[in-house]
Amino acid sequence: MQTETTAAPFADDLRAYGTALDEELARDTQFDRWRGTHFATTEERIAHHAELFGYLYQRGWNRYGWPVEAGGLGGDERHRAVLYDALSASGLPVPDPCLMLETLGPPVVHFAPHLAEAYLPAYLRGEEWWGQGFSEPEAGSDLASLRCRARREGDTYVINGQKIWMSHGTTSRRLVCLVRTGTAESRHRGLTVIMIDADAPGVTVRPIAVAGGRNELAEIFFDDVVVPADRLVGDEGQGWAVAMYLLQFERAQYAWLMAGVTLRELRKLRGLVAHTDLPDGAAWRMGEAYADLVALRARSAATVRSLAAGRTVGPEASVDKILLATAETRVHDLARDLLGRDFLFDGADAFDAERADWWYSRAATIFGGSAEVQRTIIADHVLGLPKEQDR
């Protein structure tokens, strides 16, 4: 473990960081308590993962890639990418809180450093995590039409409305929400991002069970919820800019994280079927799944380097999103087919986890922007193809 006084020169050497991390994950037997664990509920799983995140914080590893002012040890997106890769390669889960941290952490650091300084250290310690409140029942892909409203009253905002499909919404300590502060006609120009405490008076959380039976999502209602005005992420009316900044991490850095997780799933599947008779074409399909992941990683690595260099990743991040959805669904469909009756009927924890992961993978082409929307973005803004009415 590196102390804060010696961290800066160490963090500058990314290769040394990765090598030392790999060695510690292999050597420290304390990590074994998080290997091969399965849980019947999302709430149990995320609490267990938060303990792993806390232990990584004690050892210093998950503090690289975040600014010192926000509880980190310096470095950039590459350090975080190396951490996620190392965890997956060593048979450890990437803690669930990382999923929203990669989406919400960068915009909070960039647009609201005072909030990052106040709350990100507790996130890195595994003591809290956040939910992202963008979608609404009548505003999914068209965020400019959302109606959850924040009304300024002195030094506070009063929030009224509803959010839906919030990942980790059932257990999150804070909710980073896109709300309307302008008129309905102002569309994207009248949006603002604000951080709301999940236990504030007037907040009602209703879990949403996905097809696998687990509460992966939540529906949130706000009834006259009072929030201090200093909880804004960016300025009032700057919500669209914050959202666009966020998307490059949601669709790009997140893709690297999930590529490592999905590669670990493919390795696990190979172990489960290693001594069974496989149907014709199984090796070919496994090779296709691996090729998908190699393509995703090659593309995602370039994106992570761009983010680390401070370059804005624009509509081309949609390529990462599509490649990730393709790889995820292919690997989990392969598990369903190769595990056969065990996948359907075996009650062991490992197979229960395979079924839950397969069910959740059904949404891979929908959440964070549907595959159809991503392809339209690529056609219009990357390839410059004619609009449909012009074809």
User: Catalytic amino acids?
Assistant: 250
Average pLDDT over residues 4-33: 79
280 CB-near residues (< 8 Å, 6+ apart): none
Contacts of 163 (CB under 8 A, 6+ apart): 133, 134, 135, 136, 148, 169, 175, 177, 219, 220, 222
Structure tokens that stand for 177 in this block: 């929400």
Give one word for 195, left, alpha or beta, with left for phi > 0 and alpha for psi -120 to 50: beta
CB 332 within 8 A of CB 361: yes
Q: Which pLDDT score, from 0 to 100, does residue 6 have?
A: 43
Report the length, in residues, of the chain.
Answer: 391
pTM attached to this predicted model = 0.90
Q: What does the alpha-carbon distance between residue 142 and residue 139 come to, in Å, rounded to a whole number?
A: 5
Residue 390: both structure tokens together: 């012009």
Report the relative pairing of strands 130-133 and 174-180 from DSSP bridges.
parallel
Model pLDDT, residue 5: 41
Q: DSSP strand E in the chain: where?
A: 130-133, 149-153, 156-163, 174-180, 191-197, 203-208, 217-228, 232-233
pLDDT band, residue 185 (cuts 50/70/90):
confident
CA angle, residues 162, 168, 170, in degrees to nearest 5: 65
Identify whether the C-beta of residue 291 lies closer than 8 Å to the C-beta of residue 356.
Answer: no
In which residue are the tokens 């159809």 written? Answer: 372
Closest by alpha carbon to 317, among 386, 364, 382, 241? 382
Structure tokens, 80: 């975080």
Q: Is the pLDDT of residue 333 over 90?
A: yes
Average pLDDT over every residue of 305-313: 91
In sequence order, the β-bridge partners of residue 158 are 151, 226
**What is the phi/psi pair of residue 153, to 5°?**
-135, 95
Q: 132-237: what CATH class?
A: mainly beta
pLDDT score of 389: 65
| Averaged pLDDT score across all residues of the chain | 91
Contacts (Cβ under 8 Å, ≥6 apart) of 140: 165
Mean pLDDT of 196-222: 94
Range 240-390 classified under CATH 3.90.1300.10: no
Measure the CA–CA gap between 64 and 39, rounded to whole angstroms. 29
Full DSSP string of 338-377? HHHHHHHH--SHHHHHHHHHHHHHTTTTTTTS-HHHHHHH
Under CATH, which number does the domain 4-128 receive?
A: 1.10.540.10
Region for residue 224 given its phi and psi (left: phi exceeds 0; alpha: psi -120 to 50; beta: otherwise): left
DSSP character at residue 66? B
- How does DSSP classify residue 125? T
Q: Give which of 332, 322, 324 is closest to 285, Cα–Cα.
A: 332
pLDDT band for position 330 (50/70/90)? very high
Could you tell me the residue ranges of all domains in the chain? Answer: 4-128, 132-237, 240-390
Give the pLDDT confidence of 49-94 residue by residue, as tens digits: 999 999 999 999 999 999 999 999 999 999 999 999 999 999 999 9
Residue 369 has pLDDT above 60, yes or no: yes
Q: Is the Cα dihedral 376, 379, 381, 384 positive or negative?
A: negative
Position 90 scores a pLDDT of: 95
- Residue with the larger pLDDT of the pair 132 and 391: 132
